[in-house]
Amino acid sequence: MKKIILIVLCMMCIIGTASAYQFYLSCPASVQVGIPLKCSIDSNFPAGTTFDVSMYQSGYTATPVKSQTMTIQENNPTQYSILDTKGLPGGQYKVEIDFMGNDEGRLSTDSVILQLPVLIDRTGEITITSPMTQALVDALRIEGISRK
């Protein structure tokens, strides 16, 4: 019995402990179309680790919209990815981290590499009815009809 315990202790010393890298992607739950989607990225991966931040339009299938390559910087634990939303339709989107190589297999179980923000499109909620041209001597009139 003592031999077994001694062998187990020796094996634990030789093998050591396995550690995984942590990666946390955080995006706002919703943003209006036209306003940039600013996501923060916190990680303890070593400097030089490269990954893609990809944005997909969600539906029955995920349609790629935008992608940007980022690299973990030394002494910079938090980085930001700013994704332009101009011209995109409103609805559910998916922001996902795509690792190059085998880095995804080294993630800790509590890592977050996927977010589901909603783009809010309010262009159909109001119609401007004021005249397009107005005299400079008069006060500016802005009139419209709200659908909600």
Domains in the chain, CATH or no CATH each: 28-124 (2.60.40.1930)
- The model carries a pTM of 0.74
Q: Are 107 and 21 in contact (CB under 8 A)?
A: yes
pLDDT at residue 8, as a whole number: 55
Q: Are 87 and 36 in contact (CB under 8 A)?
A: no
Q: Are 63 and 94 in contact (CB under 8 A)?
A: no
Q: Name the stretches of the chain with pLDDT < 70.
A: 1-19, 148
How far is it, in rounded angstroms, from Cα 61 to Cα 77? 33
pLDDT at residue 102, as a whole number: 83
Core vs surface per residue 72-93: b (16+ CB within 10 A) or e: beeeeeeeebebebeebebeeb
CB atoms within 10 A of CB 19: 9
pLDDT at residue 123, as a whole number: 81
